[in-house]
Amino acid sequence: MNDIQLVSNPALGPLQGILTQVALGLVLLALVFYVKNNLVRSTKDFVIANRKIGFGFGVAGLISIWTWAMAVMMSAAMTYQFGLSGLFWFTVPNGLAVIAVIPFARKIRQQMPNGYTISEFVGARFSGSKLAALVVTVGMLFGSVIEVIINIKGTALVVSSVFGVNPHTAALVGLGVILAYSILGGLWASMSTSTLTTLFITVPSAIVVVAALHQVGGAGPVWDAVSSKGGEWLSVTRADAAGAFGITLALGLLTATIAGQEFWQVAWSLKKKDVSRTFLWAGAWFYPIPICLGILGLIGLALKLDLTTHLGGDAAAVGPYLISHIGLPTWIVIAYVFVILSACYSTIDGAFTAISSVFVVDIIKKVWPNIRERNLLISAKVPMIFAAAVAAAVVVSGADFVTIVLTTYAIRTAILVPLMLSIFWPRMTGAGFVWGTIGGIAIGMPLRSAYGELVGSAAILSISALVPIALGLLSKERFDFESLKQVRDAAVAADSDYPPPAQELPAATSA
Amino acid sequence: MQQLVSPGTALTILAGVLISGFYIHYMWAALKKAVRTRDDADVGEDTYRRSFFGAVISVVVSAIAIRVYGLGPFLLYLGPIAALLSPIAVTFCLREELVGS
C-alpha cells in the first residue's frame, strides 16, 4: 500500500468530460425518440405513462431514480468516515425507504385509482381544506427542484474535479442534456432511460471497484490496512455512526420516499398487479449499489487519505479522488464518471416528471379545467424548462439554497405522519392535517436550530402526529374512502379523443 | 509496460458484457411489448402477499453482506458480485414483464 502514488491522471481533460456527458445524453435521447414516437400520444401518456409501466421497467426505473449522484459518492464517504458502520447506516435504511412505500402505494391505488399527485390526494381527501393541498403542493415542488439542484451540483463537482471542466459548464451541459430527452417523452422517457441507466450504474461499478482493488495491491492489503486501524473500522456496531448521521438519515430517507411525488407518481403509473412487488424488488436490488461502491471508502482508509489535504474537507470526494489519483487507466475513470452521470440523469429526469405532474394536475387543471389537450400537453413540458432554469440559476450564481433545503425538509417531514394517517385512518381531518403540519414546522424547526437535527426531527414528527390524532379523536367525522374512486382522471383534457379502456374508470366519472 | 487490465477486472468485464447483452435484449423486447399492448386494459389486481417477508429478507441480507466485509479480505469481492447480481435480477424482472399475461 505504501508505494501508491496519489497523482491526478494527466490524460483527463475538459473535452473528455463534456464528451462523456453528451455521449450518455445521446444514447438516452436515441431511446427516447423511439419511446416518444411509439408511446407518447397524449398528456396522460406524458405525465403518467397511461398507467402502463410494467414490472421490469418499474423495478429498474425505481432503482435508478432512487440512486442519486450524491448517494453514489456518499456510500464511500460514510465508509471512509465511520468504517463498515457508516456503510451500514447509509445503506440499510436506503433500500428500506423504497420498500416502506408498499403499504401506502397499494392502498392509494385501491382508494384513488385515477390519481396523479400527493397534493391531488390531499385535496380530494380533505375537500374543504385548500390550505392542506397548497402546503403539500409547495412542498412537492420545492422537493423536486431541490433534487435537481443537489444532483446537478454534485455531478458538476465530480466532472469538474476529474476532468477540469468549469463546474458551471458541466452543470449547464448536464441540465441541457436531461431536459432535452425529458421534455420529449415525460414519464415514459424517464422510466425507460432510467432502466438503461440502472445497467450503466451497476455493471461499471463492479468493474471500477475490482480494478481499484487490484490497482492498490488487492483486497488483502486494503483489508489489513483498515483492520490495523482498529476493530471498530470493520464493525457495524459503532454507536457514533448511528448518532452522527444514521438515525436522522433514515428518517430523511423515509420522508423522501413516502412523501415524495417521484415515488407516488411511479405508484400510479404501474400496472395494478405490479405495484407491491415492484417496490419490493426495487428496494432489494438497490442495495448492491452502495454495498459495492462503499469499498472505495475502505480503500481511502487503507491509503490514509487525509480529509483536508486530499479531499478538500469533503468526505464525499473520496470516491472521485481515489479513482482519478491511483493510476487507473483513463477508461476506468471515465466508467466511474459514467456511473455518477447515470445516477444524476435518472434522478433529475424523475424530478422533472414529478414537477410536470404537479403542475398539470394541481395548478393548470384547477385554473383551466376545460383546457384543450394540445395546450395541456404543452403545459406539462413548460415546468420542466422552468425547473431547469431555476436549478441552473442557483448553481451558476452560487446562491445559497440552504433555506430552500430547510424549507423542503420541514414541509416534507411535517406532512409525513399526517399523510400516512390520511391514507389509513378515516377519522383523520383536514384541520388535523393543516394544524399538525404547521405546528410541527413552527415548533420543530426552532428546536432543530437550537438542539440539532435529531431533536428537531423528533419534535416535528411528534407534533405532526399528536395534533391530528387528537383532533381526529375529537371529531365525529369518518371519511368514506370509496369516494376517492370518483376522482376524475385529471390529465385527460376536455377535448381529448384518447379513449381510456372502459374497465379503468368508474361509471360516475364519465363526462 | 502496465497491464491494461488485471485478470479479475477482465473477468468482471466479461461478466458485465454478458449480463448487459441479456439485459438490453429483454429491455428492448419488453419495450416493444409495451408498444404493442399500449391500448390494452389493465385488468390485473395487486395480490402480492410477500412484501413483509421480502422486506425482512432484503434488510437482513444487506446487513449481513456489509458485516461479512469485516470477516476477511476476499469477502470484499462480494460487493462487485452483488453489483452484477442486481442487473441479473432486473433482467429477470424484464423477462417477467415480457412473458407475463
Whole-number pLDDT of residue A507? 37
Cα separation, A434 vs A421, whole angstroms: 13
Cα separation, A327 vs A330, whole angstroms: 9
Straight-line distance from the first to the last Cα atom of chain B, in angstroms, rounded to the nearest whole number: 56
A401 phi and psi angles, rounded to 5 deg:
-105, 15
Straight-line distance from the first to the last Cα atom of chain A, in angstroms, rounded to the nearest whole number: 72
B97 touches chain A (CB under 8 A): yes
Given a cut of 60, whether residue A263 has pLDDT beyond it is yes
For A279-295, the three-class secondary structure string (H helix, E strand, C coil) is HHHHHHHHCHHHHHHCH
Q: DSSP secondary-structure letter at A53?
A: B
Given a cut of 50, whether residue B8 has pLDDT beyond it is yes
Q: What is the pLDDT of residues A204-239, one digit of tens each?
A: 999 999 999 999 999 999 999 999 999 999 999 988
Given a cut of 80, whether residue A423 has pLDDT beyond it is yes
Whole-number pLDDT of residue A389? 95
What mean pLDDT do residues A492-504 have?
56
Whole-number pLDDT of residue A411? 81
Whole-number pLDDT of residue A26? 95
What mean pLDDT do residues A288-311 have?
95
Mean pLDDT of chain A: 90
Does residue B47 belong to any structural domain of this protein? Answer: no
Task: Report residue A491's pLDDT band, with 50, 70 and 90 as the boundaries.
Answer: confident
Q: Please indicate whether residue A256 or residue A491 has the higher confidence score (pLDDT).
A: A256
Rg (CA), chain B: 19
Q: Residue A459 corresponds to which cell in the numbers above?
A: 419534535
Contacts of A450 (CB under 8 A, 6+ apart): none
Q: Which of A153-157, A386-390, A435-439 has the lowest mean pLDDT?
A: A153-157
Q: How far is A130 from chain B (nearest CA, A)?
A: 32
Q: How many domains does chain B have?
A: 1
Given a cut of 80, whether residue A401 has pLDDT beyond it is no
Given a cut of 50, whether residue A11 has pLDDT beyond it is yes
Which residue is listed with cell 508505494? A3
Question: Please, are residues A42 and A377 in contact by the beta-carbon 8 Å criterion?
Answer: yes
**CA A500-A503-A509 angle, 5° bins:** 70
Comparing CA positions, the residue from B89, B17, B12, B77 lying closest to residue A287 is: B89
Query: Do the chains contact at A55 and B93, CB–CB below 8 Å?
Result: yes
Does residue B71 belong to any structural domain of this protein? Answer: yes
Whole-number pLDDT of residue A509? 34
Q: Which of A126-135, A270-279, B15-24 has the lowest mean pLDDT?
A: A126-135
Q: How far is B29 from chain A (nearest CA, A)?
A: 11
Residues of A in contact with B41 (CB under 8 A): 501-504
Given a cut of 70, whether residue A452 has pLDDT beyond it is yes
Cα separation, A173 vs A181, whole angstroms: 13
Query: Do the chains contact at A39 and B34, CB–CB below 8 Å?
Result: yes
Q: What is the pLDDT of residues A91-142, one digit of tens each?
A: 999 999 999 999 999 999 999 999 999 999 999 999 868 889 998 998 889 8
Does residue B46 belong to any structural domain of this protein? Answer: no
Q: DSSP secondary-structure letter at A236?
A: S
Does residue B44 belong to any structural domain of this protein? Answer: no
A358 phi and psi angles, rounded to 5 deg:
-65, -40
Of A214, A287, A501, Cβ closest to residue B58? A287
Contacts of A89 (CB under 8 A, 6+ apart): A78, A82, A241, A242, A245, A246, A249, A250
Cα separation, A206 vs A287, whole angstroms: 13
Query: Do the chains contact at A84 and B70, CB–CB below 8 Å?
Result: yes
Q: What is the pLDDT of residues A65-81, one digit of tens each?
A: 999 987 889 999 999 99
Q: Which of A137-141, A184-188, A270-274 has the lowest mean pLDDT?
A: A137-141
Cα separation, A378 vs A358, whole angstroms: 14
Structural domain for B22, as ranges: 8-36+52-99
Task: Find the Cα–Cα–Cα–Cα dihedral A499, A501, A502, A503, rounded to 10°.
Answer: -150
Residues of B in contact with A295 (CB under 8 A): 69, 76, 79-80
Given a cut of 50, whether residue A505 has pLDDT beyond it is no
Does residue B1 belong to any structural domain of this protein? Answer: no
Which residue is listed with cell 456511473? A339
Q: 3-state SS of chain A: helix, strand, coil percent to 5?
A: 80, 0, 20
B74 touches chain A (CB under 8 A): yes
What mean pLDDT do residues A463-485 have?
94
**Can you name the residues that pair with A270 across neighbouring β-strands?**
A53
Query: Do the chains contact at B83 and A283, CB–CB below 8 Å?
Result: no
Query: Do the chains contact at B16 and A204, CB–CB below 8 Å?
Result: yes
Contacts of A300 (CB under 8 A, 6+ apart): A76, A79, A80, A318, A321, A322
Does residue B56 belong to any structural domain of this protein? Answer: yes
Task: Report residue A2's pLDDT band, with 50, 70 and 90 as the boundaries.
Answer: low
Whole-number pLDDT of residue B4? 64
Q: Residue A96 corresponds to which cell in the numbers above?
A: 428500506
For A120-185, the three-class secondary structure string (H helix, E strand, C coil) is HHHHHHCCCCHHHHHHHHHHHHHHHHHHHHHHHHHHHHHHHHHHCCCHHHHHHHHHHHHHHHHHHH
Given a cut of 50, whether residue A510 has pLDDT beyond it is no
Task: Report residue A504's pLDDT band, with 50, 70 and 90 as the boundaries.
Answer: very low
Whole-number pLDDT of residue B92? 97
Q: How far is A95 from chain B (nearest CA, A)?
A: 8
Q: Please indicate whether residue B49 or residue B26 has the higher confidence score (pLDDT).
A: B26
Does residue B67 belong to any structural domain of this protein? Answer: yes
C-alpha separations of A269 from A52, A182, A507 in Å? 6, 16, 21
Superfamily of domain A14-403: Sodium/glucose cotransporter (1.20.1730.10)
Helix axes A102-111, A402-424, angle to 10 degrees: 60
Q: Residue A87 corresponds to which cell in the numbers above?
A: 456503510
How many interchain CB pairs under 8 A, A with B?
A: 247
B35 touches chain A (CB under 8 A): yes
Cα separation, A369 vs A371, whole angstroms: 6
Contacts of A18 (CB under 8 A, 6+ apart): A163, A165, A169, A170, A173
